[in-house]
A and B are shown apart, each in its own frame.
Chain A
Amino acid sequence: MLDILIAILIAGFTTGALYALATVGLSLVWGSMGMLNMAHAAMLTLGGYSAYTFSTTLGLPVFVGFTGAIVVGAIAGGLLYILIVRNLLKNDKATFESNVMIATVGVGIALENTILLAYGGQPLKQPISATGSLVLGPVSLPYQNMLIVFVVIVLMAVIALLLGRTRMGRAIRATAQNRDAAQLMGVAVNRVYFQVLVLSGAIAGVCGLMVSSMTQLSPPLGNDPMLKAFIMCVVAGLGNLPGAVAAAFGLALLEAFVQYVAGARWGFPTLLFVVIAVLIWRPAGFFGRLQIRRM
């Protein structure tokens, strides 16, 4: 019984860590720009395939592959801003919201299919992974899982420091909380948006690498994490980063338990029910601030 519980916890924590990473990338962009990046999934996939290319096709060391995923993701985020988002920002808020969603849907489809055309549809093995486990008595902790959780924790710490302690991070938060006031303080919000997308892209790159090391590398790799990341962002509340991380772990554990109890196919529907319930009864999320709409 205990070993089943441990196995569920390990699985839940690992997927929780992965979702947390995906969610942070999404929440950052959503919170500071009001933009739902539907291309996030494709950027995850891009990260996974970049690492694969660096490691396998080019035969470079693992470290290069890891860094490569981050760099390629960052570049993708930057390009997304320069080519698409920057032009759409000229509209008012409501138009921007829907237009950028549609545009990133298009970009996401195009990117995913480009990867499909370039690498083919059959799943590949992500070489950047660890094998074997640490055995502590009855408990067997796979190194891969521990590595993922470790990497995610380190990344979270870096992001938290970046946002909390640096001038750039403060500008990002200020822009998210009151864009006009940030401008009055001298913040070039366009540059902030660029930075946010680059950061989000880098995070997505690593996330994709990590996800593919757990499962497999295939073009629709990012779709599932992205959808779940949306759910977790909503449950936590718009733009709430710590809340999103908490929601990610919480919902991942819930998913793991439900899958064990009721079967694998009930995992995702459970999350969907949760988000539907949240959107109906607590649209601001569990931790979010309520945007007052007196209409």
Chain B
Amino acid sequence: MSNAAKPPLLRLANVVSGYSELKVLKGISFDVAAGDFITVVGPNGHGKSTLLKTISGLVPLTSGAISINGGPTLAKPHAIAALGIAHVPQGDMLFPEMSVLENLLMGAYLAPSKAEIDRRLDEVYALLPKLSDRRNQIASSLSGGERRMVGIGRGLMMGGQILLIDEPSLGLAPLIIEQIYGVIAELSKSGRTILLVEENPARVADLANHLHLLDDGAIVWSGPPAELLARDELLTTYLGG
């Protein structure tokens, strides 16, 4: 079947999904190997978010297969999370009435022990010291950038194998975006596998090792991000220059 002895961390095969009769993804196939930093770009409304939601199970799969470490395709989001998919959703989706700490603790819902939870918490606080400062603050009272950080921190608390990050720059000021991407860069450097959806490929040019261009629910181009940025015709056609 596959050349590699070990199955990839994540494999999508002809994934078709969408909402009731409307199909958003029309046959997506690609792999994510351990340690990869893969980014998905494309015009808005063409399926980038739906792609991540389909992987994490929030959007039902119509046909195709999504296997994690070669395993069978699962349907329920909580089972998929248990297999190591940590989805940091678009717009954060924090628990608004919980504190920062409680949000982080929810991230560690599936953690096996209190010791493990504490260990992960220390890691997250080390990476995102602001969260430690504001640990008792209620999530709904945080600023946009802080919320984004809580979302990422919460995803990290899941201790998963793959981090799915959906548009981390959405709605943030440029300075904050830089900070967020700084954190993401550190995560990648420390060996984390990341699948990231981004509107602007320039932001991830130095970070990602591979890029997929998604248009109208299908992958129209794949390759190193730097190459995409060099191809003007792709940029203008799909990403409006």
A positions within 8 Å CB-CB of B: 167, 170-171, 173-174, 177-178, 180-189, 289
B residues within 8 A CB of A180?
58, 77, 89, 93
Indicate if the CB atoms of A185 and B96 lie closer than 8 Å: no
- In the bound complex, residues from chain A placing their C-beta under 8 Å from that of B23 are none
Chain B, 62-118, CB within 8 A of any chain A CB: 76-78, 81-82, 87, 89, 93-98, 102, 105-107, 109-110
Known: A173-B98, A178-B96, A180-B93. A188 touches B76 (CB 8 A): yes
Q: Are A185 and B97 in touch, CB under 8 angstroms?
A: no
Given the contacts A188-B76, A189-B78, A182 and B106 also touching, CB distance less than 8 Å = yes
Q: Please measure, in the bound complex, the distance between the C-alpha atom of A187 and the C-alpha atom of B78, giving whole angstroms.
A: 6
B96 touches A177 (CB 8 A): yes
B87 smallest CB distance to A (angstroms): 5
Chain B residues whose CB sits within 8 angstroms of the CB of A289 once the complex forms: 96-97
Distance to closest chain A CB from B97 (angstroms) = 6
Kindly list chain A residues whose C-beta atoms are within 8 Å of the C-beta of B89: 180-181, 184
Instruction: Determine whether the beta carbon of B81 is less than 8 Å from that of A174.
Output: no
Q: Are B106 and A185 in contact (CB under 8 A)?
A: yes
> Known contacts A182-B106, A185-B81; is A174 also within 8 Å of B98 by CB?
yes
Q: Which residues of B contact A178 (CB under 8 A)?
A: 93-96
Contact: A184 with B82, CB < 8 Å? no
CB-CB under 8 A for A184 and B81, given A174-B95, A177-B96, A178-B95: yes
Contacts of A174 in B (CB 8 A): 95, 98, 106, 109
14 A-B contacts, Cβ less than 8 Å apart?
A: A170-B105, A171-B106, A173-B98, A178-B93, A178-B96, A181-B93, A181-B95, A183-B57, A183-B58, A183-B76, A184-B93, A185-B158, A187-B78, A188-B78
Chain A contact residues, majority secondary structure: helix
Q: Counting CB contacts under 8 A, is B50 at the interface? A: no
Compute how far the CA of A203 lies from the CA of B65 in the bound complex, rounded to whole angstroms.
Answer: 44
Task: Say yes or no: A173 contacts B78, CB within 8 Å.
Answer: no
| Smallest CB separation, A236 vs chain B (Å) | 14
A187-B109 contact in complex given A170-B102, A180-B89, C-beta closer than 8 Å: yes
A188 to B82, CA, bound (A): 10
* 8 tightest Cβ-Cβ pairs between the two chains A and B: A183-B77, A186-B81, A181-B93, A186-B110, A177-B95, A185-B109, A188-B78, A184-B87
Alpha-carbon gap, A182 to B87, bound state (A): 11
CA distance A185 to B98 in the complex (A): 15
A171–B89 alpha-carbon span in the complex (Å): 18
Name B83's closest neighbour in chain A (CB-CB). Answer: A186
Task: From known contacts A167-B109, A186-B110, A186-B158, infer whether A177 and B81 are also in contact, taking CB-CB under 8 Å.
Answer: no
Known: A170-B102, A180-B89. A185 touches B94 (CB 8 A): no
- Which chain A positions have C-beta within 8 A of B78? 183, 185-189
* Nearest Cβ on chain A to B117's Cβ, whole angstroms: 10
For A177, list chain B residues within 8 Å (CB). 95-98
State whether B87 touches A173 (Cβ < 8 A).
no
| B97, A173: Cβ atoms closer than 8 Å | yes
Complex: chain B residue closest to A184, CB-CB: B87
When chains A and B are docked, how far (Å) is the Cα of A104 from the Cα of B88?
37
Separation in Å of the B66 CB from the closest CB of chain A? 15
Q: Does B56 contact A (CB under 8 A)?
A: yes
Question: Closest CB of chain A to B63's CB: distance in Å?
Answer: 20
Q: How far is the CA of A188 from the CA of B77 in the complex (A)?
A: 8
- B57: which A residues are within 8 A, CB to CB? 183
- Most B-side CB within 10 Å, residue of A167, A180, A181: A181
